[in-house]
Amino acid sequence: MEYSDVLKSLEKSGTEQARKIYTNHGADIPLFGVSMKDLKVLAKKIKTNHELGTKLLFSNNVDAIYLSRWIVDPKQIRRSELESILISTNYYMIIDNVVAHIAASDYKLAKECLEKWQFHENSTFRQAAYSLYTLILTTYDNNKIDLDNVEKTIYFIKDNIHDESNRVRYSMNGFIIASGIYIPTLTLLSKEVSEYIGKVKVYMGKTSCKVPYAKKYIEKVESMNKIGFKRKLT
């Protein structure tokens, strides 16, 4: 499919209901309002096409950017390209589910992005870093993860989360959950730090979404005997 054909397909699949939902969740750039289901169907039809994927990534359209996460070749993506997206939008769905996802899809890229973004002066970059780090904990084998740094990061979050900006707090909370669920040696520490932190307050826009209490979330997974079970990056 050509770029113009993809945009026409996305526009045809968009609905007013989806546009309203995405806008209420903070979409701040143009969109058609395509459901995740329809995006995945289209992605399977197109398959990997890096040239097309990069055009979609830089389209300044929510649906096209989201679609790109399944089409680009992460090994050909540069950190600077992802950073241009972080500068162009504050929409968490793109930051957490596209930029972080693409970065996590390539080990070398993931390490580079995490190193450059975790303590960046721009809060959007820090948000992306913690979302990326969460994906690393969730999907990477532990022998590819610097567990000492994970522990240091848990303590850093303990001391700084309540002073962070809104969506960074959410991503940090997700990191605590992931460290407790996917790194068995850090389950106890993650629960202790979560208890110390308490419930994390995040403004979720015009939605009914709530911020999970990390300790209870981890304990629920413990009760199911699923601590340490990794997920695939899809």
Task: Give the Cβ contact number of residue 71 at 10 Å.
Answer: 22
pLDDT of the residue at 206: 85
- Element containing residue 72 per DSSP (H, E): none
Q: Digits of tens for pLDDT over the chain (234 positions)? A: 999 999 999 999 999 999 999 999 999 999 999 999 999 999 999 999 999 999 999 999 999 999 999 999 999 999 999 999 999 999 999 999 999 999 999 999 999 999 999 999 999 999 999 999 999 999 999 999 999 999 999 999 999 999 999 999 999 999 999 999 999 999 999 999 999 999 999 998 888 999 999 999 999 999 999 999 999 998
Closest CA to 28 of 102, 91, 121: 91
- Domain coordinates in residue numbering, the chain: 1-72
Give the whole-angstrom CA distance, residue 11 versus residue 22: 15
Buried b (16+ CB within 10 A) or exposed e, 194-232: beebeebebebeeeeeeebbbbebbeebeeeeeeeeeee
